[in-house]
Structure 1
Amino acid sequence: MIHALTPDNYKNITKVSILDARDVFYPFKYVLQKRDIVFDEDLALVIYPMVEDIKYPATSKMTDAGVLRDYKIEISINNQLPETEAQLEAKMNRKVIVILHHNYGKIILGCNEMPLEYIYNDENTTNPQGDNGYVVTCRGNAYFTKVSL
């Protein structure tokens, strides 16, 4: 069976793991070697987004090491449970590494030397039929890596 990793595969993000860059060893040399990341799932902030709830646009710049992209990952969460806010608050203003899990592997954004900035905000609407929740934003430069299963 052959699986081609095309941009269409990346639309189907099934899970997002957000790791404090201090809690994991993933140096820049691992990025260049396209090595996988090993982490303790208990230390990660894990979000299971709907397809329409995640956006990760990037601008690209070619370098000798590969494609450097300036990412702004936004994940919408449509609940305001106290447990959700406590988990989001635990990573506030931290430097993070983001892992986007999809059907054919994962995309790792950030490393120890180039982590992403993490913040979250309330997303409240005045529309009674609208969703209330939070928006998680992770922003920064990262080399684009693909890790297949």
Structure 2
Amino acid sequence: MRRATQLSLFDDDHAAASLASLLPLVRSAMSSVAGGSSLSRDQIADRLTEVARAAGISISRGNAKSVKTATLEKWLSPAAREHPPSLTALVAFCLVTRDVRPLEPILATLGCSIMTKEDRKLRDYGAAILAEREAKKKKRQLEAEL
């Protein structure tokens, strides 16, 4: 017979808590993005439909050929447990709004973050400096051997 193990509230592994709050955080971010968008919610729903049709996919439940504003509202409500947005709906939303913030809670759960263009420049600059140091070190070694 297997013995049950009680989990500690003080464990470093917060995976269960992270997963439990993931969808409300994604929905909240989607709602924030939609609220700050120059597009109305009707326009966002229409553009989601256009993106889905262009891709030849359905991003709402069932065989629906379009995204209704009511469906979008359900996706944006952090308290709504039913009707979660699908992964393709989330990505389409990010494409339509040109904002990736709804992906941040997912990445944070995995210990990652979104890299901005500025972050990439700084990363590349740092890599160039390290490569330059390594080249100088190798050059000094070769000069010492001459």
Normalised to the residue count of structure 1, the TM-score between the two structures is 0.21
Q: TM-score, normalised to structure 2's length?
A: 0.21
Higher relative helix content: 2
Going by fraction, where is strand more abundant, 1 or 2?
1
Name which one, 1 or 2, has greater alpha-carbon Rg: 2
